[in-house]
Amino acid sequence: MHISENIRKAHESLSKTNLKFLEFVERNPWCLKHSLYEGLQWPYRKIVLQPWPLFIDQRLKKEAADSSISVFNLIKKIPGKIFNFDAREMGHYYEIPGESMAYILAGVTEEHLHYLLGRGDFIHTPSQGFKCIEYNIAGNLGCWELPFWHSMYMKNITTAKFFEENHLEIINEDLVAVALKSYVNSLIKKFPHYPNEMNIAMVMTGHQDGILNSPVEKYSVSMYREILQSTNRNLHGELIVCDYNHLTVKGNFVYHKEKRILCIHENYAGFVPEEMLGVFCKGNLVINVGPLTFLMTNKLNIALLSEHEESDLFTPGERESIKKYIPWTRKTTPGQTCYRGETVNLETFVLANKDKLVLKPSLNYGGKQILIGIHTPQQAWEKEIKTAFLQKTWLIQEYLETSVYLFQEGEEGYAEHNIVWGMFVFGDTYAGSVLRTLATKSNKGIINIHQGADLTVVFEVRE
């Protein structure tokens, strides 16, 4: 096994422990065998994890937390700062019809924006640190299994040996616990005079009432009771996993049987029945995230921030955060724009500079329809760009060179990989990261599990 000096430096830049793990593999070639990691499978969603984890120190954890929280806060300010909650103006920019925008914004206030759950996708560049390429703000965020995956790595025969030899102090937060604490705190603020019963409904498509189908569901139900007790001994309540048809609206409130529901966590990609949305509009229910998903998870938010990096709508500190964490990004609207201090015709510039750029749809997921200019023939690029400028629901973003790291590859081997960091923020709290890794030899450039990338975990260590 050969580890170049550049690779050693890249791994050590994340933590000394990260380099130690690479050297541990170098001393123990059996660590290259994929068959030794068969326990790293999550059968409930048929996920096979990348055998090697990543380790970050407290300096890099702070950098991850600062970047993910900063961008999350910036996105939450877009409706008020840029549009003053004007549905007509927002519909025009996002290319969303007026009646749909009215549904999305129904009952939404500045207060509601504080309760959201998000996961930002970041690239870590060698020279500029973390850059946010998109932000997902939704109830159906993936990777809620993260606490279980951490445990699986710590028990695997290969990685467990490394943990044992190095006496590591792991200080990761429990992702599920952080989310539930955020809910409890938001409910206490929202309903300060309500009795001590706080029931949450987690709604999922086709879910049977009273049946917990996965370890994550069982763990969440149990953890919620613990968090209520640890927050205030007088608090009690349940986290109820069900579908919308198990909930009813009586008067101005939502109930599950005889239990009043104060919060709905929807796993429905933003859909909420109108009668329950009405309860939310009256201020008697918290919905996370609900119809606002279609707005807050829209990739055009990154373009909006980039377009306003010099705008007085944002404070000097906010403008500095935009410049630091947001790559150059534009909505595919014909006309003049600024690129690196130069005024250019956007469509002409994009057609002539494909190797510097990436084309993305504003709402698709799973890496679908993304074009990496450097991996796209010029003729195909020109065809898609012309379509994108006609539809105006696409964005163009600068292509970022990512840091390269070594990960296990194949039946018995290793290879250089690019990675995307998925950073979770609940409310105003950083909750940890998960990685998507893809071998550089794939030549795809789209680092997404639906496009062949693997998932792996990030261990936060105290050194």
Query: Is residue 375 included in any domain, yes or no?
Result: no
Residues 6+ apart with CB under 8 A from 255: 247, 248, 249, 261
Query: Is residue 211 included in any domain, yes or no?
Result: yes
Model pLDDT, residue 366: 59
Model pLDDT, residue 364: 74
Strands 371-372 and 286-288: unpaired
Q: Which DSSP symbol is given to 14?
A: T
Query: Is residue 269 included in any domain, yes or no?
Result: yes
The SS3 of residue 86 is: coil
Helix residue ranges, H only, 257-391: 274-281, 293-296, 300-307, 316-325, 346-352, 378-391
Give the chain's domain count: 1
Query: Is the Cβ–Cβ distance between 299 and 121 less than 8 Å?
Result: no
Closest CA to 276 of 246, 254, 243: 254
Model pLDDT, residue 246: 98
Q: Which long-range contacts (CB under 8 A, 24 or more apart) does 227-230 make?
A: 227/177, 227/180, 227/181, 227/184, 228/184, 228/198
Token pair, residue 199, equals: 């029931």
Residues 6+ apart with CB under 8 A from 270: 138, 139, 289, 290, 291, 292, 293, 294
Model pLDDT, residue 447: 83
CATH code at 227?
3.40.50
Tens-level pLDDT at each residue, the chain (463 residues): 889 999 999 999 999 999 999 999 999 999 999 999 988 888 877 787 999 999 999 999 999 999 999 999 999 999 999 999 999 999 999 999 988 999 999 999 888 898 899 999 999 988 899 999 999 999 999 899 999 999 999 999 999 999 999 999 999 999 999 999 999 999 999 998 888 999 999 999 999 998 998 999 999 999 999 999 999 888 999 999 999 999 999 999 999 999 999 999 999 999 999 999 999 999 999 999 999 999 999 999 999 999 999 999 999 999 999 999 999 999 999 999 999 999 999 999 999 999 999 999 998 765 568 999 999 999 999 999 999 999 999 999 999 988 899 999 999 999 999 999 999 999 999 999 999 999 998 766 788 777 788 999 999 999 9
d(CA 219, CA 200): 15
d(CA 351, CA 382): 6
Q: Is 243 exposed, middle or buried (0-12, 13-18, 19+ CB in 10 A)?
A: middle
Handedness of CA 291, 295, 299, 301 (dihedral sign): negative
At 443, which amino acid appears?
Answer: N
Query: Is residue 190 included in any domain, yes or no?
Result: yes
Query: Is residue 287 included in any domain, yes or no?
Result: yes
Query: Is residue 189 included in any domain, yes or no?
Result: yes
Task: Please give the full DSSP string across 412-437, using - where no structure is assigned.
Answer: B-EEEEEEEEEEEEETTEEEEEEEEE
Query: Is residue 396 included in any domain, yes or no?
Result: no
d(CA 332, CA 280): 35
Query: Is the Cβ–Cβ distance between 380 and 374 less than 8 Å?
Result: no
As a three-state string, the secondary structure of 282-294 is CCCCEEECHHHHH
Model pLDDT, residue 443: 67
Query: Is residue 415 included in any domain, yes or no?
Result: no
Residues 6+ apart with CB under 8 A from 382: 351
Query: Is the Cβ–Cβ distance between 32 and 413 less than 8 Å?
Result: yes
- Residue range of the domain that includes 195: 100-117+173-296
Instruction: Please give the model's pTM, rounded to 2 decimal places.
Output: 0.95
